[in-house]
Structure 1
Amino acid sequence: MLLLALVGCSGGGSTSTTPAAVGFPNPATEALDPAKAKVLQDVLAKIVAFPDSPAGARGATAAVITDKWAWSGAAGKDALGTALVPTTSMGVASITKTFVASEVMLLAKAKKIDLDAPLSTYVKHKLTANNATVRQHLSMTSGVQDYRPEDYLRMDKVIEAAPSRHWTPEDALSYDSMPVGAASSPYSYSNPSYVLLGMMIEKVTGQPLATVLRRDLAAPAGLQHAAFQDAEKPQPPAAQDVNAACGKPDGYLPCRAIASLSAANGGMAADAPTIARWGYELYGDRVLPAELVDQMTTGDGEYGLGTMLFSERFGIGTAYGHRGESSDHTCVLVVVPEKKVSVSLILADGNKNVDGVMAELTKALQPLLG
């Protein structure tokens, strides 16, 4: 099953209703003292020392941004044996959802959409016919369920035949065979909901999704090494994968077909410092107004609006962010507002226990935060 979990990550954290802290200061540009940084680099070395373990990987990159110092590191190799560096681009899968959700919040603030209006107001599709609201799609309580494993298998066959083909959102959704439940259903992780939200952004703005996300979010946040596939290609250096559905590399991660079919729910590629910077800017109220971030980081369970609520999962305070899981790379973004710290971790291996690895990283990090 090559595509299953490509951009999904159905787990979350514990209940949290604490709003994010307001107004992080400028992120630090001073590098962490090398002697202190060794404890963080040692965590990466441990990961690649046991690549076949659930918490191991062939390669790993990570970054930390605080208001006092910054750090990034790398260890190991990609699937073709090339050594990773901190700026190696890899697929970040469902971390893409934090961008899509942020853009929806900006459109709501500008009164171009209504979060509590049915998504069908903006996108006519069989998956919006139950009149679930935009907010319900953001929080994955819309009744639109994730693709079945069998759906991914059918996609795989088409991808194998044409790995460099561009897929439209409608193409991707045509493979969804799950029945739609009632609006205001219990939380259920849903990639199709975010495909629909991406379609809404394009419909309302009249511009391609990548153009909008670049203009409204990536540029203001100072993200220099992010790519919204397949409108943009990952910037070098980029990790190489051995993906059975994709065949030979075509400049996308893992290939254009997968990158485009998952554009809104998981198509982004970036390096660890870029993702850590994004977390600092977003959950530090620097790219969105605090009242919008508060809505994104508030929920009755494990998911807010495009944001996973990690509570005390990583041992250094109430945390927000997102996981990304695929057959090629596994990643997680964790921001702890109380500590004014953003941490990213990307593993050059698919479907790994990234939470366990992040817990080791945050354990090593905690004494450095004061």
Structure 2
Amino acid sequence: MILKKDNDNTYLFNDVRTHVMESAEKLGASGGALLIIQNDKIATESYFGQQSHAKHARNVQADTQFHIASVRKAYIGFAAAYAIYNGYFSIDDPVRLFVEDSHLSAYEGVTIRHLLTHTHGLKIADDNQLASEYKPGDSWAYRGPSIELLTMIIQKTTGQSIAEIIKSQVIEPLGFQSTEWIKMSKPHSKIADAIRDADDRFWTETDVVDGSRMNMYVSAQELALWGYIHLTEGQWAGKQLIPREIIQMATSIQTPKPTLPIQKNGFLWFVKDTNYSFNQIGDTVPKGSYQLLGYTNVALLVIPEENLVAVRMLNRFGSSKGYDYLSDIRSFGDTVYKCSLKSTMH
């Protein structure tokens, strides 16, 4: 880690640690991690449990890598911002410019912006064909086709895969060692098992490591530092390592009709605006905060107003019966924010 630990004030975030451990128990996770950065120091860092439920399983520790599921969209959003910043395409370019099946009526009116903000209206219909659910920009829905299209468009225009862009622009410059797409046929000893139901239809295993699939594993430390370089708008160890405009583009509201009562997004990040019952960020968390969540119950939350990054790592793929995911993740953010205020006043 490039940051020093604030050992004197770690106790101020005890409520967050308790919250994470209680969530892990409710979910049946075998282990987890919590790491919070505030005011350019590590405010708290803890690891608990094992990497799997197997007997003699490796303890979760600083180099343990967790399956981050949809939190990987922060990296896809970054790659899209990188491509736009470097002139490969524009945010309001029609998707039809880049797809081979451009004749399909479902693409009518859909732009890159719509893909990045989940306002595209695209879905896979019952006949396994691409269809339009609503007029682009008029609503919001969390659907898979947008991610497949984005990764394809980025690779087609830049000549680089998501993984190649992240490696050259992030992993190598920042010296990351525990951020990677893993061949699931060749897992290594530092990977936490994704605890899941035997019949979970969302779980997939792949050896594709170009960044287009959901097999990205990251340590708590490096996920927190990834959030931190967003918080600093690209500054790292006193240098502007990533152009500020790339980070600002990715983390500010890009939703085409921001006055609509729908979830707001930057480049795939959820961005806090007005309080709505469907928000995945807690009511007390201030406006301008942004977050991404994974189906493995991983969370990355950035609260610029408090100069804070919070990472929760768990290894439960999906949810246990009766577990209220939305309530739990909103409560996590609210607890982080409450403790951050105590830290500020201390």
The two structures have a TM-score, normalised by structure 2, of: 0.75
Q: Is the 8 A contact 2:70 2:294 kept in 1?
A: yes
- Does residue 1:336 correspond to 2:303, yes or no? yes
Report the CA distance between 1:198 and its aligned residue: 0.4
Q: Find 1:76's aligned residue among 45, 49, 61.
A: 49
Where 2:227 maps in the other structure, the secondary structure is helix
Question: In the alignment, which residue of structure 2 is the partner of 1:110?
Answer: 86
Report the CA distance between 1:232 and its aligned residue: 11
The code of the aligned residue for 2:83 comes to: L
Residues 100 and 46 (structure 1), Cα distance of their counterparts in 2 relative to 1, 3 Å cut = closer
Report the CA distance between 1:241 and its aligned residue: 3.2
Partner Cα separation in structure 2 for residue 246 and residue 53 of structure 1: 19
Q: Find 1:359's aligned residue among 331, 334, 343.
A: 334
Where does 1:1-12 land on structure 2 (aligned, <5 Å)? none
The code of the aligned residue for 1:93 comes to: A
Residues 50 and 95 (structure 1), Cα distance of their counterparts in 2 relative to 1, 3 Å cut = closer
- Bigger relative CO (Cα 8 Å, ≥ 6 apart): 1
> C-alpha root-mean-square deviation of aligned residues, in Å?
3.5
**Regions of 4+ moved over 6 Å:** 231-235
Question: In the alignment, which residue of structure 2 is the partner of 1:324?
Answer: 293
Report the CA distance between 1:50 and its aligned residue: 6.7
Question: In the alignment, which residue of structure 2 is the partner of 1:180?
Answer: 132
Report the CA distance between 1:228 and its aligned residue: 2.8
Report the CA distance between 1:57 and its aligned residue: 4.7
Residues 200 and 339 (structure 1), Cα distance of their counterparts in 2 relative to 1, 3 Å cut = same
For residues 38-92 of structure 1, give each alpha carbon's deviation from its aligned partner in whole angstroms, at most 9, with x where no partner exists.
Answer: 44356435543575536x8542211122344114211223442533223321111
Where 1:199 maps in the other structure, the secondary structure is helix
Partner Cα separation in structure 2 for residue 232 and residue 113 of structure 1: 35
Partner Cα separation in structure 1 for residue 302 and residue 88 of structure 2: 29
Partner Cα separation in structure 2 for residue 255 and residue 189 of structure 1: 19
Q: Is the 8 A contact 1:93 1:265 kept in 2?
A: no
Q: Which runs of 5+ in 1 are unaligned?
A: 1-26, 152-174, 248-253
Q: Find 1:36's aligned residue among 1, 6, 9.
A: 9
Question: In the alignment, which residue of structure 1 is the partner of 2:215?
Answer: 267
Residues 218 and 235 (structure 1), Cα distance of their counterparts in 2 relative to 1, 3 Å cut = farther
Question: In the alignment, which residue of structure 2 is the partner of 1:141?
Answer: 119
The two structures have a TM-score, normalised by structure 1, of: 0.70
Q: Which runs of 5+ in 2 are unaligned?
A: 235-240, 274-280, 320-324
Matched residue pairs, number?
308
Report the CA distance between 1:213 and its aligned residue: 2.0
Q: Is the 8 A contact 2:36 2:45 kept in 1?
A: yes
Between 190-199 and 263-272, report the one with greater CA deviation. Answer: 263-272
The code of the aligned residue for 1:138 comes to: L
Where 2:191 maps in the other structure, the secondary structure is coil
Q: Find 1:313's aligned residue among 282, 285, 295.
A: 282
Q: Is the 8 A contact 1:64 1:273 kept in 2?
A: no
Identity of aligned residues (%): 18
For residues 184-235 of structure 1, give each alpha carbon's deviation from its aligned partner in whole angstroms, at most 9, with x where no partner exists.
Answer: 3412112220111001111112233312221123333443311134599776
Report the CA distance between 1:347 and its aligned residue: 1.7
The code of the aligned residue for 1:359 comes to: D
